[in-house]
Amino acid sequence: MKEILDAILNPDSTSADFAGLALPESYRAVTLHKDEEQMFAGQASRDKDPRKSLHLDEVPLPELGPGEALVAVMASSVNYNTVWSSIYEPVSTFGFLERYGRLSPLTKRHDLPYHVLGSDLAGVVLRTGAGVNAWKPGDEVVAHCLSVELESPDGHNDTMMDPEQRIWGFETNFGGLAQIALVKTNQLLPKPKHLTWEEAASPGLVNSTAYRQLVSQNGAGMKQGDNVLIWGASGGLGSYATQYALAGGATPICVVSSEAKADICRAMGAEAIIDRSAEGYRFWKDDNNQDPREWKRLGGKIREFTGGEDVDIVFEHPGRETFGASVYVTRKGGTIVTCASTSGFMHQYDNRYLWMSLKRIVGSHFANYREAFEANRLVAKGKIHPTLSKVYTLEETGQAALDVHHNKHQGKVGVLCLAPQEGLGVRDAELREKHLPAINRFRNI
């Protein structure tokens, strides 16, 4: 591993140098253990502690298949799917690996008694498999997390429609929270040159998801002038949705739960901010009944910011807790676009407000390769910025996941993998200098 790191840190290393490096037989990785699937049985979600389920193990290097790459991972990040995996909710991810393993002898590699997690990475290509022409050893890359087989016609208009669509490092093995990762090369994207490894590793999953959900025609297709209600506007997804709304000439109405988070939204350029804790919204009277007066109170608050207008789009992901309110506050003909149900997936809303006002609910999930490319391109051009707030070591991944689980974090949380320290990997210092305050917005809190 030392030779690999030395080659990455040496600015004179060539592609041939990387191709000539011997690969280690094993590497360090953050794993779940299949024989611990039941470890949290009977506990409340909040009490399930990722520090207990996430291990740092030495695991064998997987065999490289056609169309794949082994990547030396300098940095990765914690996504909410790391939290779901680590608390074995809503299901154990080992079921995903077993199902994938039944597809072919090659996918059988993924079905192991351990699961290497992680759906983001920034690093350097070490080896490419048969049939790969677009990437070579030594390329500095980030990876998006869409894994597809594309053997069916269904995915050829939009790869998210592939029946064998999976999220790498969640529904597949050999993820990015490790010293080395295995990816398909159609997951690779050029690393934004003005960012450090840990900054570059942080946008991937959430940035691509927010791009499809809000901007793409496959999602809400946001346009200039739209009012966009963004739940969790300083969180992983929301911090990108807020940036997209601002960069696209829309007006974000940011919902957050503290004054510190409101300050971050202001730092991004948002003006309309609702502190849901200070307002004390209680959309549910009890476990089964919502309170429409509270929906109305939220709608009234939104109108104070918009001069009486309702929102064109709601950027939804909290789910059960907020969905009834989201459907209510959307304007006639508007769109509720959802990609998650953090607070519960059995939603309840008053359908009269949907059909009588011709609203649409749109489901959105991650992004296809082109959408992930567009989202990464905007980061590389300095138009959308990383929202990295804190960086942990690979050993500390459990703590990092706990922070996200308990909503103690801001924006994104990074993890150093092979990178010995923060701040390395910048290749375009001039572009970085130009955007430094924006890059550090989430750090200064």
Ligand X SMILES: NC(=O)c1ccc[n+]([C@@H]2O[C@H](COP(=O)([O-])OP(=O)(O)OC[C@H]3O[C@@H](n4cnc5c(N)ncnc54)[C@H](OP(=O)(O)O)[C@@H]3O)[C@@H](O)[C@H]2O)c1
d(CA 388, CA 396) in angstroms, rounded, equals 16
For ligand X, the closer of residues 159 and 179 by Cβ is: 159
| Span interacting with ligand X, options 150-158, 181-189, 337-345, 373-381, rule CB under 6 A | 337-345
For ligand X, the closer of residues 8 and 54 by Cβ is: 54
For ligand X, the closer of residues 136 and 365 by Cβ is: 365
- By CB under 6 A, tell whether 201 contacts ligand X: no
- By CB under 6 A, tell whether 339 contacts ligand X: yes
- By CB under 6 A, tell whether 256 contacts ligand X: yes
Written as one string, the DSSP assignment of 352-395 is HHHHTTT-EEEE--S--HHHHHHHHHHHHTTSS---EEEEEEGG
CB of 363 to ligand X, least distance (A): 9
For ligand X, the closer of residues 235 and 398 by Cβ is: 235
- By CB under 6 A, tell whether 137 contacts ligand X: no
For ligand X, the closer of residues 179 and 322 by Cβ is: 322
d(CA 25, CA 265) in angstroms, rounded, equals 46
For residue 261, give the DSSP letter. Answer: H
- By CB under 6 A, tell whether 343 contacts ligand X: yes
Contact in structure between 70 and 126 (CB atoms under 8 Å): yes
- By CB under 6 A, tell whether 389 contacts ligand X: no
Residue type, 148: V
d(CA 6, CA 2) in angstroms, rounded, equals 6
- By CB under 6 A, tell whether 415 contacts ligand X: no
Phi, psi of 128 (to 5 degrees): -120, 150
- By CB under 6 A, tell whether 169 contacts ligand X: no
d(CA 293, CA 135) in angstroms, rounded, equals 56
Contact in structure between 145 and 182 (CB atoms under 8 Å): no
d(CA 261, CA 30) in angstroms, rounded, equals 30
CB of 230 to ligand X, least distance (A): 9
Which of 143, 302, 340, 391: binder of ligand X (CB under 6 A)? 340
β-pair partners for 71: 125, 181
Which of 365, 377, 435, 443: binder of ligand X (CB under 6 A)? 365
Contact in structure between 366 and 240 (CB atoms under 8 Å): no
Which of 94, 100, 244, 366: binder of ligand X (CB under 6 A)? 366
- By CB under 6 A, tell whether 45 contacts ligand X: no
Contact in structure between 210 and 242 (CB atoms under 8 Å): no
CB of 159 to ligand X, least distance (A): 13
Which of 50, 204, 219, 318: binder of ligand X (CB under 6 A)? 318
CB of 313 to ligand X, least distance (A): 16
Which of 31, 53, 77, 81: binder of ligand X (CB under 6 A)? 81
CB of 443 to ligand X, least distance (A): 16
d(CA 135, CA 144) in angstroms, rounded, equals 15
| Span interacting with ligand X, options 32-40, 57-65, 256-264, 348-356, rule CB under 6 A | 256-264
Encode burial over 13-46: b for 16+ CB neighbours within 10 A, e otherwise.
beeeebeebeebeebbbbbbebeebeebeeeeee
- By CB under 6 A, tell whether 257 contacts ligand X: yes
The count of chain residues that interact with ligand X, using the rule CB under 6 A, is: 31
For residue 417, give the DSSP letter. Answer: S
| Span interacting with ligand X, options 16-24, 56-64, 86-94, 251-259, rule CB under 6 A | 251-259
Return the number of other C-beta atoms located less than 10 Å from residue 250's C-beta. Answer: 21
Residues 224-243 that bind ligand X (CB under 6 A): 231-232, 234-238
d(CA 264, CA 144) in angstroms, rounded, equals 26
- By CB under 6 A, tell whether 400 contacts ligand X: no
Contact in structure between 273 and 240 (CB atoms under 8 Å): no
Return the number of other C-beta atoms located less than 10 Å from residue 217's C-beta. Answer: 8
- By CB under 6 A, tell whether 93 contacts ligand X: no
Which of 404, 417, 418, 438: binder of ligand X (CB under 6 A)? 404
CB of 92 to ligand X, least distance (A): 16
Which of 342, 368, 376, 389: binder of ligand X (CB under 6 A)? 342
| Residues 277-296: x where in contact with ligand X by CB under 6 A, - otherwise, as a string | --------------------
Written as one string, the DSSP assignment of 269-290 is T--EEEEHHHHT---BSSSS-B
Which of 53, 202, 322, 397: binder of ligand X (CB under 6 A)? 322
d(CA 12, CA 150) in angstroms, rounded, equals 38
* Positions in the binding site for ligand X (CB under 6 A): 79-81, 84, 205-206, 209, 231-232, 234-238, 255-257, 261, 276, 317-318, 321-322, 339-340, 342-343, 365-366, 404, 407
